[in-house]
């Protein structure tokens, strides 16, 4: 069996979900002997290929070309689909990231196969078929399904579901350089410019911990106390917001967690002043640990929280921040 993963990189750095996919590949390999291959598209990213070998890839198909410097649905999907058609792997996996949600359905259409999207668990059944678990109905139900007989069997994995296996620097992958089968004429929509915000923030979908604010936040300045808490918690921590805060204009849309925002899966999710509307729960219900801070003891968020604090977030959050500072000072 051949298990392929589509590796994502940003600014010449591998995204964590790429390493999670390789860890998943190794888990599947325990069920059935398989070769794990990674597709790595981009430009000037050859130095990343050996890292994929350290994390479990047996082969890396390196698509390193100026035409793939910026992501485009048409360019990436045609290049990847042509490569997959040539080698015919049984399984093709990708990340359920912003890029993956755009790319993978297009690849599946070109390959005329099915795809299980936004999976929180992927395994092999007794017949060697992919057995996928994915949440539906805003996370209230989990569906288990197998992929149809068409090949390759495709699935996208929600980020932060699988732990990344430790790298083995003694393991190396065979690096196969491939010329992309795409031209400028194939790419009709082209990205001209990327405007960055001041300061680098951890992406919500890849954050290990998230502190989110809701309707109780009165203005943009109120998020500063959440940012202070996030800062003391660690490096891979960021601040999010509910739809109510975004609709009120006190938080940008890229901070929105929920069904119409970003779906997140951190180890720790702290909901501050968030009531727990079903739209918001759909975006964070699979978080490994949920802490709710709300003045209303009847707020629906408490029904889903592992820990709850009934109180004013503007009093509770600073106390929590100071307590964590003291604990870290003792380490």
- Region 92-116: what's the mean pLDDT? 94
Residue 112 shares a structural domain with residue 166: yes
Separation between Cα atoms, residue 285 and residue 297, nearest integer Å: 19
Percent of the chain with pLDDT over 70: 98
Domain-embedded: residue 192? no
Residue 306: pLDDT band by 50, 70, 90 thresholds? very high
Domain-embedded: residue 195? no
Q: Is the pLDDT of residue 193 over 60?
A: yes
Domain-embedded: residue 315? yes
Domain-embedded: residue 33? yes
- Region 93-114: what's the mean pLDDT? 94
Q: Is the pLDDT of residue 198 over 60?
A: no
Residue 223 shares a structural domain with residue 181: no
Residue 111 shares a structural domain with residue 177: yes
What pTM does this model have?
0.84
pLDDT (tens digit, 9 = 90+) per residue, 63-99?
999 999 999 999 999 999 999 999 999 999 999 998 9
Region label for 249, one of left (φ > 0), alpha (ψ between -120 and 50) or beta (otherwise): left
Residue 137 shares a structural domain with residue 218: no
Tell me which residue has tokens 């390959």: 111
Domain-embedded: residue 247? yes
Q: Which residues pair with 141 in a beta bridge?
A: 136
Q: State the CATH number of the domain containing residue 61.
A: 3.40.50.620
Q: State residue 100's pLDDT score.
A: 94
Q: Is the pLDDT of residue 195 over 80?
A: no
Domain-embedded: residue 55? yes
Residue 6 shares a structural domain with residue 147: yes
Rg of the Cα atoms in the chain = 21
Domain count for the chain: 2
- Region 273-297: what's the mean pLDDT? 93
pLDDT (tens digit, 9 = 90+) per residue, 161-174?
888 999 999 999 99
- Residue 105 domain boundaries: 2-186
Residue 149 shares a structural domain with residue 275: no
Separation between Cα atoms, residue 112 and residue 110, nearest integer Å: 6
Separation between Cα atoms, residue 3 and residue 92, nearest integer Å: 6
Separation between Cα atoms, residue 216 and residue 172, nearest integer Å: 52
Residue 127 shares a structural domain with residue 249: no
For 120, other C-beta atoms within 10 Å of its C-beta total 18
Residue 312 shares a structural domain with residue 269: yes
Of 124, 158, 186, at which residue does a domain stop?
186
Of 186, 213, 247, at which residue does a domain stop?
186
Domain-embedded: residue 252? yes
Q: State the CATH number of the domain containing residue 307.
A: 3.40.50.1220
222 φ, ψ to 5°? -65, -25
Q: Which residues of 29-55 are buried (b: 16+ CB within 10 A; e: fewer)?
A: beeeebebbbbbbbeebeebbebbbbb
For 121, other C-beta atoms within 10 Å of its C-beta total 15
- Region 275-284: what's the mean pLDDT? 91
Residue 177: pLDDT band by 50, 70, 90 thresholds? very high
Residue 26 shares a structural domain with residue 160: yes
28: three-class secondary structure by DSSP: helix
Residue 197: pLDDT band by 50, 70, 90 thresholds? low
Contacts of 330 (CB under 8 A, 6+ apart): none
Residue 16 shares a structural domain with residue 145: yes
For 259, other C-beta atoms within 10 Å of its C-beta total 17
* Mean pLDDT, all residues of the chain: 92
Of 186, 218, 233, at which residue does a domain stop?
186
Q: Is the pLDDT of residue 330 over 90?
A: no
Residue 175 shares a structural domain with residue 208: no
């Amino acid at each position: 069996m051949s298990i392929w993963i589509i590796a994502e990189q940003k600014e010449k750095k591998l995204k964590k979900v790429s390493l999670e996919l390789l860890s998943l590949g190794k888990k599947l390999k325990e069920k059935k002997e398989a070769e794990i291959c990674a597709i790595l598209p981009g430009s000037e990213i050859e130095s990343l290929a050996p890292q994929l070998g350290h994390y479990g890839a047996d082969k890396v198909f390196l698509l390193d070309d100026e035409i793939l410097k910026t992501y485009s649905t048409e360019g990436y999907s045609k290049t990847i689909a042509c490569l997959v058609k040539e080698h015919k792997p049984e399984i093709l996996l990708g990340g359920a990231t912003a890029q993956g949600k755009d790319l993978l359905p297009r690849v599946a259409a070109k390959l005329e196969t099915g795809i299980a999207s936004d999976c929180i668990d992927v395994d092999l059944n007794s017949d060697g078929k992919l057995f996928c678990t994915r949440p539906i109905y805003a996370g209230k139900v989990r569906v288990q399904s197998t992929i149809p007989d068409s090949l390759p069997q495709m699935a996208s994995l929600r980020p932060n579901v699988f732990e990344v296996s430790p790298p083995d620097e003694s393991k190396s992958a065979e690096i196969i350089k491939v010329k992309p089968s795409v031209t400028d004429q194939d790419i009709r929509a082209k990205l001209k410019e990327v405007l960055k915000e001041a300061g680098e923030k951890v992406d919500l979908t890849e954050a290990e911990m998230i502190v989110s604010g809701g309707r109780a936040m009165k203005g943009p300045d109120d998020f500063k106390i959440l940012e202070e808490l996030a800062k003391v918690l660690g490096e891979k921590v960021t601040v999010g917001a509910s739809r109510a805060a975004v609709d009120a204009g006190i938080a940008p849309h890229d901070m929105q967690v929920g069904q119409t925002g970003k779906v997140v899966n951190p180890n720790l999710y702290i909901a501050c002043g968030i009531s727990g509307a079903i739209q918001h729960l759909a975006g964070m219900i699979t978080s490994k640990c949920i802490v709710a801070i709300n003045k209303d003891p009847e707020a629906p968020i408490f029904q889903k929280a592992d820990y709850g604090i009934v109180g004013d977030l503007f009093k509770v959050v600073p106390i929590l921040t100071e307590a964590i500072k003291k604990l870290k000072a003792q380490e």
